[in-house]
Structure 1
Amino acid sequence: MSNPSVAFILNAHLPFVRHPEYPRFLEEDWLFESISESYLPMLRMFNRLVHDKIQFKMTISLSPTLCCMLTDPVLKERFLEYLERHIELGEKEVLRCTKEQPEFLEMARFYLDQARENLNDFQDRYRGNILEGFKALENSGHLELATTAATHAYLPLYKDYPTAINAQIELGVQSFLTTFGHLPKGFWLPECGYYPGLEESLKYHGISWFQTASQSMLLSPDKVEYGTYRPVQCPNGVAAFPRDFQTTSLVWSNASGYPTDRNYREFYRDIGYDLPMEYIKPYIHEPSLRVFTGYKYWAITGQTNQKVPYRRDLAQKRVADHAKNFLYNVHKKTKTLEGALDKNPVFTLGYDAELFGHWWFEGIDWLEQVFRQNAEHEQQASFVSPSTFLAKERDTLQTVRPAFSSWGQGGYSAVWLDGSNAWTYRHIHKAIERMEELAVRFNDQISLKQRFLNQAAREVLLSMASDWPFILFNKSSTEYAQKRIGDHLKNFNVVYGNMCKNAVNTEWLVKAEKRDILFSDIDYNIFNPER
C-alpha cells in the first residue's frame, strides 16, 4: 500500500441575494467578491494546469442559488460595474502608492492586474457566464460537478417534514439538470448535515454519493473497518464519503491551519477602512458606509496592531512549503495506516470554495502547488472525484449506517439551532405545514393560481436557507438575515391569506416573480404529501 487517493470536494454556494429595486445593494457584494477573488482566479488556475498537462481532479458543488445569480442579467451587469469601480480604484492606488507608500506598490499593481484579468475573462472568455468555464473543465475530465439542496437548507432540522426534504433535493437535482444538461451523481449535504434515512431521498432522485462529517463514521452503530479513510455505502447502496478531519485541519483550523501563517495576507485590513473618506467614498456604499474593497496591503502578523507590509514573494515561498507539507502529511499518514488497513486510504477533504482566494488569499496558489508538486514527485497521491473512485472500487465498499452529524461546532446542530436563531424554526415549520395544506386543497391548479402557489413554495424554500441561522449565530449581518427570514414568511402569508379566500393578488405576484427569479420551473405540488 503506497498510493493514497485524495478527493478534494469544494462547495460553491452563496445565499440568493438580488435587489434590483436599489441601484446598489451592500449584500450583493458577497457575490461580486466571490466571483472576482475565488471563482475567476480558480478557473484561471485550473486552465493553467490543463495547459501544462498537470494531472488533477477535483469536485465542485455549485448551489442552485449561486447558479441562478451567476446567470442573472441584472447581477451580471452590476458585476461589470463592480469591476469597473475596482479598476478605477486600482489605477488611483498605483499612483497614490508610487508617491506615498511605495512598499504597497507591488500589491496595488497586482490587484489592478487581477481586476483587469477578471474583466477580460468575464466579458470575452466566458461571455458573461462563468458556469461555461466549469462546464468545459467537466467535459475535459478535470472536474466533477455536483449539486446541493435547493436553497442550501440544513436538512437535519427538517427531517420531520419529508415534503420539504424532498423539495430541497428534487429542485437541487432539477436545477443542475437545467444548468448543465445532465443529472448529477453527487450531492453536497449542506453543512455536512446528515441524519439516518436521508440517503433514501437521495437515492430516489438518482444520487449515488454524498459527503459526511467525520463523526458520521466514528459514531456509527456499526463497526467501521476503515474509519474515515475510505468511503462506505449505506444499506441502500448510496455511497458516503466521510471527511478526514485531521488532514482537512491542515487547512481549516483557526488555530494552526496554513491560512494563519504570519507571512500571508491579512483579510480584515482593507483600504476601505484605512483611507480618508474623501478618497475612498466613490468606492464604498452610500451614504458613507465603509466596506472591503479588496485592496489589502498588510500581512497577518498576529494579534497586534503593529502590522507589517505584505510581501507576495515571502507568501509564495510559504505556499510552496505548505503544499510540500500537505503532501508529506498525506504520505506520512498513509505509511502510518499501512499496518491497520488492507486497502489504500482515501482522504476526503471538504471545503467551502470561497475559502480559496477570498478568505485565504493564497489558497488558490496553494491548490495549484499541491497539484504541481505531486506531479513533479511521481504522483505521491492520486487525485480522484467520488464518481471516478466509485467507478473502480464500488465493490470494495463496506456497508455502514452513518450517524447523525454535521461539520459545525460540536459536530451536531449547535450552529444552526441555538439561542440566536431557534426562534426561526417554529415559524418556518408552520409555513411548511401551511404549504402542504395549500398543495392538498388546491392541487393541480393552472394559470394565475398555479403561479401564485409556485411563489408560495419559493418563499418557503428561501426561508429554509442555512445561511440565515448561520449569520444570526455569528452575529455578522444579523439585521439583514432577520429581515430576509421575516420577508419570506410574510410573503408566504400573503399567498396563504389570499388563497384561503380563493383569491389571487395579481399585482403582488408579478412583483414577486420579478424579484425572485429562481426555480422558474418549480411545481408547488411538490409539497403535496398525498402525491
Structure 2
Amino acid sequence: MSIGYLALVLHAHLPFVRHPESDFVLEEEWLFEAITETYVPLITMFEGLKRDGVDFKLTMSMTPPLVSMLRDPLLQDRYDEHLSKLEELIEMEVERNEHNGHLRYLAEHYAEEFSHVREIWEKYDRDLIKAFKQYQDSNNLEIITCGATHGYLPLMKMYPEAVWAQVKVAVESYAEHFDRPPNGIWLPECAYYEGVERMLADAGLRYFLTDGHGILYARPRPRFGSYAPIYTETGVAAFGRDHESSQQVWSSQVGYPGAAEYREFYRDLGWDAEYEYIKPYVMPNGQRKNVGIKYHKITGKGLGLSDKDWYDPYWAREKAAEHAANFMFNRERQVEHLHGIMQRPPVIVSPYDAELFGHWWYEGPWFLDYLFRKTWFDQGTYEMTHLADYLRDNPTQQVAKPSQSSWGYKGFHEYWLNETNSWIYPHLHKAAERMIDLAKREPADDLEWRALNQAARELLLAQSSDWAFIMRTGTMVPYAVRRTRSHLSRFTKLWEDINEGKVDSGWLVKLEAIDNIFPNINYRVYRSL
C-alpha cells in the first residue's frame, strides 16, 4: 500500500507567434521544434503506456496561445512544410554517410524518428489537441489552463479588470477546445499575489500552482509545508513546487540533463555542414540556423563544442533509464521520510516546463516513460497522481493565505521588472486603463464591435510575460521589443479610431487576420468586476 503521492506537472507554453504577413519568420519554428521534439514524443509515450497497461497520471497545462497555434490551419500547413524539409534532409544524410558507420547509424535514427512524427501528425489529422484531449477523457491526463496570454499577473494587479480578463478569457478558451471547464490553472510564471484567488474562484477554478516558498511562508504557517496543498479562504487550493525533486532535473550543476551521454543541444548540423550543402535548409536569406539534427553528445563539462564526441542514442537511453530509477528511488526515500514526520501521505509536486522534455533535454521523454513504468511495476511506496484526483481523494486540507511569490530568479518579481524591461510597464498600464474605459462603451455598429474585440486581443498579446522574459535573458531581444511595440501601437490606433468614431475597416480586417487568437472574445470582459 502506498504511503504518499508524486504529482508530475508539465507546463506546455509558447508565446503566440503567427505571421501570415511573411513567408518566413524564424520565431515560428519555436512551435515546429516543440511539436517534433516534445509534443509528439509525449503523445507517443502516452500511447505506449496505455498499450502496455500502465495507468499513468500526469497534470499538464496547455496555455491558450499554444492551443490556438496547434489548431491554426496556417501554422499546420507551415509545419507540414517544415517536417517535409527535415525528412528530405535526413534522407540526404543517410545517403551522404553511407560509408561512415556511426554517422549513418545516427542519420537512420533521425530518419526513423521523423517518420514516426509524420505518422502521429497525420494520425490525428494534424490536430495534436485531439490527441491530448483523448487522454484527458480517459482521466490519465489532467489538462489545466494558464493566463490568456501568460500575462504576469502581480504586475497588473492595480488593474483588477486586466487580471480578470487574463483569467476569464483563458477559462472560456479552454472550454471551447476541451468541451469542459478547467479544474486548475498554472499561474503564469507561478506568480501569485494575495487576492488573485478570489478571481480564480469566481472563474470556477479549483486549484493553482505556485512556487514552494509561496506555501512555506503562508499565514498561518502550513503544518505540512509544501507537501500538502492549502486551501485559500475562497476554497481554491494552492499546490507548491517541491525543491528537491525539481533540482534533480532543473539544476545545471547536478541535474540529470547534464550527463555526458546525453545529446548536445548547442551543436547542430545547420552550423556544422558545408554551407552549399545545407543552404536549402536554413533561412531564406542564407543565414545558418539550427535544423534539429545533432550528432554530438555533451561528452564532459567545460568542453568546447569542437571537442564533443559522437552521440549514441543507445547509451543515452540506458542513462535515461538509470536516471529514472534514481529519481524513483529518491522519491521513495523522500516519501518514507515525510510520511514518518507527517503521519499522513505527503504529495510531492514536481513541475517543469514541458519543452524541457525533448527539446532542451532530448532524452527527457525517455526518462518520463521509464519513470512511469518503473513507478507502476517496481515499487509500492508512492503512487503517481494528477492534481484533480488528489483533491478529490484528499478533500480536507489546512486553510491559509499563500505568500507572494514566483518561480523566477530570487523567487519574486524582479526577473519581469528590471532595467532591461521596465520601460514596457507604463505603456501596458496606460493601455489597460484605456481598455477598461473602452469596455464601458456599447458599440454603435458591427464594425465598432469588432474593433473593440480586436483592441482586447491586442492588449492581451502585448501583456505576454514572454516578451519581458526574453528582454531579460538577452536572446531574441529585437523580436520581443518589436512584438511589444507592435501590439501596443495597434491597440493605440484602435483606441483612437473608436473614440473618433472612424474605424478603418480595411486595416481592421488585416489585423483580425494576423492577430486572430480568441475568435469569440467579448471586450466586455474588461468591465468593472
Q: Tell me the TM-score normalized by structure 2.
A: 0.98
The SS at the match of 2:460 is helix
User: Within 2, Cα distance between the matches of 1:443 and 1:303?
Assistant: 62
Matches within 5 A, 1:517-528: 517-528=516-527
Does the CA contact (< 8 Å) of 1:443 and 1:525 recur in 2? no
Taking a change above 3 Å as real, the CA distance of residues 2 and 50 of structure 1, as seen in their structure-2 partners, is closer
Q: Does 1:107 align with 2:106?
A: yes
Number of aligned residue pairs: give it: 526
Query: 2:417 corresponds to which residue?
Result: 417
Question: Which amino acid is 1:462 matched to?
Answer: L
Does the CA contact (< 8 Å) of 2:214 and 2:240 recur in 1? yes
Does the CA contact (< 8 Å) of 2:215 and 2:239 recur in 1? no
Select the residue among 291, 295, 298 that pairs with 1:297: 295
Query: 2:474 corresponds to which residue?
Result: 475
User: Within 1, Cα distance between the matches of 2:129 and 2:336?
Assistant: 39
Question: Which amino acid is 1:343 matched to?
Answer: R
Matches within 5 A, 1:5-24: 5-24=5-24
Report the CA distance between 1:252 and its aligned residue: 1.1
The SS at the match of 1:351 is strand
User: Within 2, Cα distance between the matches of 1:446 and 1:64?
Assistant: 29
Query: 1:456 corresponds to which residue?
Result: 455
Matches within 5 A, 1:387-402: 387-395=388-396, 397-402=397-402
Question: Which amino acid is 1:375 matched to?
Answer: W
Report the CA distance between 1:500 and its aligned residue: 2.3
Does the CA contact (< 8 Å) of 2:4 and 2:339 recur in 1? no
Query: 1:75 corresponds to which residue?
Result: 75
Question: Which amino acid is 2:341 matched to?
Answer: A
Q: Does 1:26 align with 2:26?
A: yes
Question: Which amino acid is 1:274 matched to?
Answer: D
Question: Which amino acid is 2:343 matched to?
Answer: D
Q: Larger deviation: 107-116 or 175-184?
A: 107-116
User: Within 2, Cα distance between the matches of 1:334 and 1:178?
Assistant: 39
The SS at the match of 1:6 is strand
The SS at the match of 1:338 is helix
User: Within 2, Cα distance between the matches of 1:214 and 1:253?
Assistant: 16
Q: Tell me the TM-score normalized by structure 1.
A: 0.97
Q: Larger deviation: 466-475 or 220-229?
A: 220-229
Post-superposition CA distance 1:287-335 (Å, at most 9, x none): 1221111100111122212111111121111111111110111111122
Query: 2:311 corresponds to which residue?
Result: 310
User: Within 2, Cα distance between the matches of 1:470 and 1:280?
Assistant: 32
Query: 1:95 corresponds to which residue?
Result: 95
Does the CA contact (< 8 Å) of 1:10 and 1:59 recur in 2? yes
Question: Which amino acid is 2:462 matched to?
Answer: S
The SS at the match of 1:359 is coil
Query: 1:40 corresponds to which residue?
Result: 40
Report the CA distance between 1:221 and its aligned residue: 2.8
Report the CA distance between 1:2 and its aligned residue: 5.2
Select the residue among 156, 163, 166 that pairs with 2:164: 166
Question: Which amino acid is 1:393 matched to?
Answer: N
User: Within 2, Cα distance between the matches of 1:289 and 1:161?
Assistant: 43
User: Within 1, Cα distance between the matches of 2:414 and 2:142?
Assistant: 31
User: Within 1, Cα distance between the matches of 2:315 and 2:126?
Assistant: 35
User: Within 1, Cα distance between the matches of 2:462 and 2:452?
Assistant: 16
Query: 1:363 corresponds to which residue?
Result: 364
Taking a change above 3 Å as real, the CA distance of residues 445 and 219 of structure 1, as seen in their structure-2 partners, is farther
Q: Does 1:512 align with 2:479?
A: no
User: Within 2, Cα distance between the matches of 1:361 and 1:243?
Assistant: 24
CA RMSD of aligned residues (A): 1.2
User: Within 1, Cα distance between the matches of 2:167 and 2:376?
Assistant: 37
Does the CA contact (< 8 Å) of 1:334 and 1:345 recur in 2? yes
Question: Which amino acid is 2:246 matched to?
Answer: T
User: Within 2, Cα distance between the matches of 1:494 and 1:474?
Assistant: 30
User: Within 2, Cα distance between the matches of 1:92 and 1:78?
Assistant: 21
Query: 1:334 corresponds to which residue?
Result: 335
Does the CA contact (< 8 Å) of 1:87 and 1:112 recur in 2? yes
Taking a change above 3 Å as real, the CA distance of residues 104 and 508 of structure 1, as seen in their structure-2 partners, is same
User: Within 1, Cα distance between the matches of 2:324 and 2:487?
Assistant: 44
Does the CA contact (< 8 Å) of 1:374 and 1:380 recur in 2? no
Post-superposition CA distance 1:158-192 (Å, at most 9, x none): 11110110000001000000001110101111110
User: Within 2, Cα distance between the matches of 1:230 and 1:109?
Assistant: 47
Post-superposition CA distance 1:22-42 (Å, at most 9, x none): 122211000000011100111
Select the residue among 224, 243, 246 that pairs with 2:244: 246
Does the CA contact (< 8 Å) of 1:150 and 1:461 recur in 2? yes
Question: Which amino acid is 1:185 matched to?
Answer: N
Matches within 5 A, 1:44-443: 44-99=44-99, 101-123=100-122, 125-301=123-299, 302-305=301-304, 306-395=307-396, 397-440=397-440, 442-443=441-442
Does the CA contact (< 8 Å) of 2:227 and 2:346 recur in 1? yes
The SS at the match of 1:437 is helix
Question: Which amino acid is 2:20 matched to?
Answer: P
Does the CA contact (< 8 Å) of 2:174 and 2:182 recur in 1? yes
The SS at the match of 1:454 is helix
Report the CA distance between 1:272 and its aligned residue: 0.5
Does the CA contact (< 8 Å) of 1:444 and 1:525 recur in 2? no
Question: Which amino acid is 1:509 matched to?
Answer: L
The SS at the match of 2:150 is coil
Report the CA distance between 1:503 and its aligned residue: 1.4
Question: Which amino acid is 1:344 matched to?
Answer: P
Question: Which amino acid is 2:434 matched to?
Answer: R
Report the CA distance between 1:444 and its aligned residue: 4.9
Does the CA contact (< 8 Å) of 2:336 and 2:381 recur in 1? no
Question: Which amino acid is 1:472 matched to?
Answer: M
The SS at the match of 1:228 is coil
Question: Which amino acid is 1:455 matched to?
Answer: Q
Post-superposition CA distance 1:41-76 (Å, at most 9, x none): 110111100000012100111111111111111110
User: Within 2, Cα distance between the matches of 1:28 and 1:149?
Assistant: 21
Query: 1:485 corresponds to which residue?
Result: 484
User: Within 2, Cα distance between the matches of 1:381 and 1:49?
Assistant: 18
User: Within 1, Cα distance between the matches of 2:221 and 2:192?
Assistant: 19
User: Within 1, Cα distance between the matches of 2:475 and 2:444?
Assistant: 41
User: Within 1, Cα distance between the matches of 2:419 and 2:105?
Assistant: 46
User: Within 1, Cα distance between the matches of 2:210 and 2:384?
Assistant: 19
The SS at the match of 1:210 is strand
User: Within 2, Cα distance between the matches of 1:267 and 1:222?
Assistant: 44
Report the CA distance between 1:207 and its aligned residue: 0.1
Report the CA distance between 1:104 and its aligned residue: 2.1
